[in-house]
Structure 1
Amino acid sequence: MEDGVQKAANRYRRARIALLALGMDHADPEFRPLRKEDTVKYSLDAQHRTLGESKESKPWIWERFSFADTQGDGQYQSFFDEAQRVHWFRSSALKKRWHEELRLLEEEMRRSLKFFSHHRRRWLDVAEKRDSDGNRGGAAYARKQAYRYTRLLQTCKAEYAGRIDLNGPSLQVLLQDVGSGS
């Protein structure tokens, strides 16, 4: 398959050199110089892409397909236009799914902060109640549990900084006294 790609690329290069010799402008937009990077595959199937491939732009050779239309009736161009349209819709749906996943992940981060904050507050309340009952051992245990949730909150705050808005009003209340360890 790679041999076929190289043969086609060399045939294109020879044809371009002939066109240049006949007076074609070097900056012709349709017959650009073909580099090795331009002969890479262009996957229309978003499911079989490799990691990082979605950030790469497609080579110019895939923008138009009319150069391969030997019959002159636009058969290949119409096929390629339809394939690109399908590819665009698939890519659009994939992008929407990733945005949804991002929103879900951010919400999970917010909920983990709320969960840890709730349990921290709950154990601090237990510690106060045990102190007032004179149960110093139970109060110490409750403070130990509250401290565990304080550490979890601090870790989350450090990890989530820059990923979700920690300055929102609901999260500010949760995180206001985490740094003090109370």
Structure 2
Amino acid sequence: MREVDIDGPETAAIILPSDFDAGQRATLGLTALASLEFECRKNQALEALRQLRQEIRMYNWTVSEKKAQLHGVGATTRAQAYLKSLLDHIQLAGDTYRCARAALLSLGLPKDDKTFQPLTKLDQRGKGGLKVRPGMARVADPWYWHVARPAGQNEDQRLAWESEMDRVQWFRARASRDRMDEELEILEAEFSRSIRSFSKMRDVWTAMAEQKNLVPDNPDELGWRAYAFRQAAMYERLRAECVEAQTEAPILAAKDLEAEDRKGVLEARAKELEEELTDVYFEQQN
């Protein structure tokens, strides 16, 4: 416990069985715990690959729509900012998989395992989400596009399986949207409750301050009345700040979007070059 930062416990390292070799795990009696971590890491790796496929589909679809539908610097810049966030999500999913696979290897996964293969940044691509073009059939998707797919499927079964996976993903996306809507509703309700609470406290302290001769001939009356007026002013200031924050919330959101746009202008050309290099890479693979 002495090594844990009390002010930042989330920064403390969590030692797991995968951090030890097989001999150390046997000596420390971590064999059973290592089996549990192995199963958890398998699920983590599969979920990371699912997330990677989802983000690549979204990125490819966004790129194709941007090329076909968006025109002008402003719209292109906003799209580039969004594409950058998708690329960050792709990288995060890939890093999560690589971390999980490293732990699995430490726990005894064979290096030549066909399910959990090495994943490079160049592998973090695929045709998912793209409209089929001539020649694309000759470009093979990376290995992880077929992980967890039942073996021995014909074309109709494969399409049905992928359609079912898309339905699952749609329900997950809808649940995420519902959670975001709920968070927005909670925030708006918190604004309203805070404003009502501050208004009530202001009125209570104001009423107390305006009472006179509550205690006849009390020399301290002026002092407590001044204190009550100060408390009332404090709650009025809090109420006004809350009202202002509620009013300016959309404006602040717009300012954040403008900041992202300005940042995207600097990155737009770099992303276009990256897309061109990616197209050249896939053409060379043909």
Q: What TM-score, normalized by structure 2, do the two folds share?
A: 0.34
Over 3 Å counting, the alpha-carbon distance change for 1:62 and 1:43 in structure 2 is same
Does the alignment pair 1:74 with 2:156?
Answer: yes
Say which structure is richer in helix. 2
Equivalent in the alignment of 1:150: 236
Equivalent position to 2:198, from 116, 121, 132:
116
Structure 1 counterpart of 2:173, one-letter code: S
Equivalent in the alignment of 1:91: 173
Equivalent in the alignment of 1:3: none
Equivalent residues of 1:65, 1:80 under 8 A apart? no
In structure 1, the residue corresponding to 2:53 is in which secondary structure?
A: coil
Structure 1 counterpart of 2:157, one-letter code: Q
Shift of 1:117: 0.6
Output the CA distance in 1 between the equivalents of 2:130 and 2:154: 14
Q: Show structure 1 runs of 4+ deviating over 4 A.
A: 64-69
Deviations 1:111-144 (A, max 9, x none): 0010011000000000011x34372211101001
Equivalent in the alignment of 1:160: 246
In structure 1, the residue corresponding to 2:155 is in which secondary structure?
A: coil
Output the CA distance in 1 between the equivalents of 2:54 and 2:85: 13
Equivalent residues of 1:120, 1:147 under 8 A apart? yes
Deviations 1:42-85 (A, max 9, x none): 238xxxxxx954xx9xx99323799579x763232222111111
Shift of 1:161: 1.0
Q: What TM-score, normalized by structure 1, do the two folds share?
A: 0.52
Structure 2 counterpart of 1:85, one-letter code: R
Does the alignment pair 1:62 with 2:144?
Answer: no
Equivalent in the alignment of 1:23: none
Output the CA distance in 2 between the equivalents of 1:148 and 1:61: 59
Shift of 1:162: 4.0
Output the CA distance in 1 between the equivalents of 2:126 and 2:199: 53
Over 3 Å counting, the alpha-carbon distance change for 1:74 and 1:64 in structure 2 is farther
Shift of 1:90: 0.8
Output the CA distance in 1 between the equivalents of 2:181 and 2:213: 50
Larger Rg: 1
Output the CA distance in 2 between the equivalents of 1:150 and 1:95: 36
In structure 2, the residue corresponding to 1:161 is in which secondary structure?
A: helix
Equivalent in the alignment of 1:24: none
Percent of aligned positions that are identical: 31
Give the RMSD, CA atoms, in angstroms: 3.4
Structure 2 counterpart of 1:63, one-letter code: G
Over 3 Å counting, the alpha-carbon distance change for 1:108 and 1:160 in structure 2 is same
Equivalent position to 2:223, from 120, 123, 137:
137
Does the alignment pair 1:125 with 2:207?
Answer: yes
Structure with the greater relative contact order (CA < 8 A, sep ≥ 6): 1 or 2?
2
Q: How many residues align?
A: 113
Question: What stretches of structure 1 of length at least 5 have no aligned partner?
Answer: 1-40, 45-50, 165-182
In structure 2, the residue corresponding to 1:126 is in which secondary structure?
A: helix
Shift of 1:147: 1.0
Equivalent residues of 1:128, 1:139 under 8 A apart? yes
